[in-house]
Amino acid sequence: MALATRTDRRPSIARTFWGSTVGKKTVMAATGLIMIAYLAVHALGNAKIFFGAGDFNDYGHWLRVMGAPVLHREWGLWTARVVLSASVILHGVSAYQLSRRDLKARATAYVHKRRRASYATRTMRWGGIILALFIVWHILDLTTGTVHPGFQEGHPYQNVVDTFSTWYGNVIYIVAMLALGLHIRHGFWSAAQTLGVGNATRDRVLKAVANVLAVLLTATFISVPVGVMTGVVS
Amino acid sequence: MRLTLRVWRQKNTDAPGAMATYEVDGISKDMSFLEMLDTLNEKLILEGEDPVAFDHDCREGICGACSMVINGDAHGPERTTTCQLHMRSFADGDTIDVEPWRATAFPVVRDLVVDRSAFDRIIGAGGYISVPTGAAPEAHATPVPKADADYAFEHAECIGCGACVAACPNGSAMLFTSAKINHLNVLPQGAPERESRVLDMVATMDAEGFGGCTLTGECATACPKGIPLPSIAAMNKEWLRATRKAGKR
Ligand code: HEM
Ligand code: SF4
Ligand code: FES
């Protein structure tokens, strides 16, 4: 088997990637990083809420006209939506398939249990599920308004204040953002390993960047409901 | 020392297994863990019972045969092989749990013995260099930079024990496979097969039913030879490089 002369042709790159644990993890890492980059921009945009309704609603309006006059109205927004939807789906499907495989590869548990790995590492799968549910709720709440009684199209500031004036709006949001922080903490560093840029000398830097990113993003996102709750934003 | 042992007993791959409890007495703290098991087995044989089957060969920490999980840790509490683990790491009166490696790709053969031939098939897929046979080449014919030689040697230390798979919550063989790939891929002798090696070994690793890597780091903590976690990142890098090159052919 091993010594046969190789005259075979290899499967296509896409097949090789999707069929391999290493390749599928690469898909996860790349889509995860796309989502982190998006979230960094998203967090900055959210921070505009502290400068008043005018500023925030202008920003909401700009999202629709960004890239103008080269891009037609909402072309930029729809490009972002398509890329992000594809990322969430590819990331989620890879996570599901790899997790299924991992659980099968260790079907029998040890009788003698002991605690393993860090909290962020152990919560990647549950955290991911929380994030997936949150993404659905968040879009239905603040983009389409489907689950948002009294939703006003074109008035994002008012809608945000409205959401965070309910206790459940705050709880859902804050729990999801804590899950996000943990996910990014392990995820950013993991993505570096998966993409092969991690090594012994860079390890501390990568871990530090992951922690800073996780804390900054989580804190910025949570500052909005806290702002509404304390009346800084109203 | 007097100890209570709880050992996994299983007649064969298909039979159900269970933990069985034994008392052993007269254990010296200078005995190795395997000598302690030998003592238990002598007692079991005298009592007309089946001895506990376990793998062992060199008993000097270089063959990688002595696989068992002791109190939830692959090879027990010290970072070494079971044959190099001494009873002074335990206290008189302890209860010690002993289980086989747990991974779907390593089926239990009997008691603590598992079938690790999946590792051999991963090696067979590319863990070699193809050279024309004949007289041994002059040692200095192919210069190797010192840093590369050290890197290759660090990874060549892997003894294929499987502790990394046993410790991994996903039963993943990435640390083992990365050790074998990095060892040869960094050397000039390994260069002609650099791409096919990583592609074929990773594909075989997947086909054998090992799990994927979630960067938990349990493998590197358990490895008796100190193969470091970044070896996996280095393998991923080699794999990505090889897929790019294969795409251009
Ligand atoms: C759709 C919901 C999501 C699910 C189900 C999910 C699930 C997962 C899982 C299971 C992992 C692998 C964990 C591990 O290796 O231990 C992972 C990794 C990762 N996730 Fe997510 N996640 C989701 C959303 C997100 C979001 C919103 C981001 C961006 C902030 C993100 C960024 C990452 C990154 C960067 C990784 C590391 C990839 C790697 O290990 O190479 N994920 N995710
Ligand atoms: S990498 Fe370490 S733990 Fe894994 S087989 Fe090699 S020596 Fe054993
Ligand atoms: S018996 Fe050879 S390494 Fe333990």
Does any ligand 1 atom lie closer than 6 A to the CB of residue A122?
A: no
Predicted pLDDT at A11: 79
At what angle are helices B146-156 and B174-185 packed, to 10 degrees? 150
What average pLDDT does range A95-111 have in this prediction?
A: 96
H-run or E-run covering A54: helix A53-65
Residues A106-118 have a mean pLDDT of 87
Handedness of CA A73, A76, A79, A80 (dihedral sign): negative
Q: Is the pLDDT of residue A1 over 80?
A: no
Interface predicted TM-score (ipTM) of this complex, two decimals: 0.92
B83-128 tens-digit pLDDT: 999 999 999 999 999 999 999 999 999 999 999 999 999 999 999 9
- Quick one: tokens of B180? 């074998």
Tokens of B160: 């294929």
Q: Show residues of chain A in contact with B168, CB under 8 Å.
A: 106
Q: Tell whether A35 is covered by a domain.
A: yes
Q: Kindly report the CA angle at B103 between B101 and B109, in degrees rounded to 5?
A: 60
Distance B58 CA to ligand 3 centre (A): 5
Q: Domain tally for chain A? A: 1
Query: Using the 8-state DSSP alphabet, how is residue A49 labeled?
Result: G
- Least-confidence region, from A71-75, A207-211, A218-222, B165-169: A71-75
Q: Long-range contacts: A94-99, Cβ < 8 Å, 24+?
A: A94/A24, A94/A25, A94/A27, A94/A28, A94/A31, A95/A28, A95/A125, A95/A128, A97/A24, A98/A21, A98/A24, A98/A25, A98/A28, A98/B212, A99/A125
The pLDDT value given to residue A3:
61
B3-41+51-110 CATH, one of 3.60.9.10, 3.20.20.450, 3.10.20.30, 3.40.50.300: 3.10.20.30
Q: What gap in Å lies between CA B137 and CA B32, rounded to an integer?
A: 41
Q: Which domain holds residue A58?
A: 20-104+117-230
- Rounded to an integer, the average pLDDT of A99-127 is 90
- Exposed (0-12), middle (13-18) or buried (19+): which is B248, by Cβ within 10 Å? exposed
Domain boundaries, chain B: 3-41+51-110, 116-247
pLDDT for B90: 97
Q: Given this model, what pLDDT does residue B249 score?
A: 56
Task: Please give the residue that has the higher pLDDT: either A224 or A120.
Answer: A224
Where is B24: in which H helix or E strand?
A: strand B18-24
Q: Does residue B145 have a cis peptide bond before it, meaning omega lies within 30 degrees of 0?
A: no
- B84 in Cβ contact with B27 (< 8 Å): no
Pocket of ligand 2 (CB under 6 A): B 64, 158-164, 175-176, 179, 222-225, 227
Taking a C-beta distance cutoff of 8 angstroms, is the pair B39, B26 a contact? Answer: yes
Running DSSP on this structure, what letter comes out for residue B87? G
Task: Sort out which chain A residues have CB atoms less than 8 A from B129's CB and list them.
Answer: none
- Min Cα–Cα distance to chain A from B91, Å: 18
Q: How far apart are CA B245 and CA B249, in angstroms?
A: 7
The three state secondary structure string of B94-111 is CEEEEECCCCCCCCEEEC
- Whether this prediction's pTM lies above 0.95 is answered by no
pLDDT at B134: 83
If you average pLDDT over residues A8-28, what whole number do you get? 89
pLDDT digits (tens, 9 = 90+) for B188-201: 999 999 999 999 99
Put simply, the answer to whether B210 touches A22 (Cβ < 8 Å) is no
Residues in chain B where the model's pLDDT stays below 50: none
Check residue A216 and give its pLDDT: 98
Instruction: In whole angstroms, give the CA distance from residue B29 to residue B246.
Output: 56
Binary contact (A106, B97; C-beta < 8 A):
no
Q: For chain A, give the mean pLDDT.
A: 92
CATH topology of domain B116-247: Fumarate Reductase Iron-sulfur Protein; Chain B, domain 2 (1.10.1060)
Binary contact (B203, A107; C-beta < 8 A): no
pLDDT-derived band at A8 (thresholds 50, 70, 90) equals: low
Which pLDDT score is estimated for B139? 79
pLDDT digits (tens, 9 = 90+) for A129-175: 999 999 999 999 999 999 998 899 889 999 999 999 999 999 999 99
What is the reported pLDDT for B140?
85
The CATH number for A32's domain is 1.20.1300.10
- Which ligand is in closest contact with the Cα of A98? 1
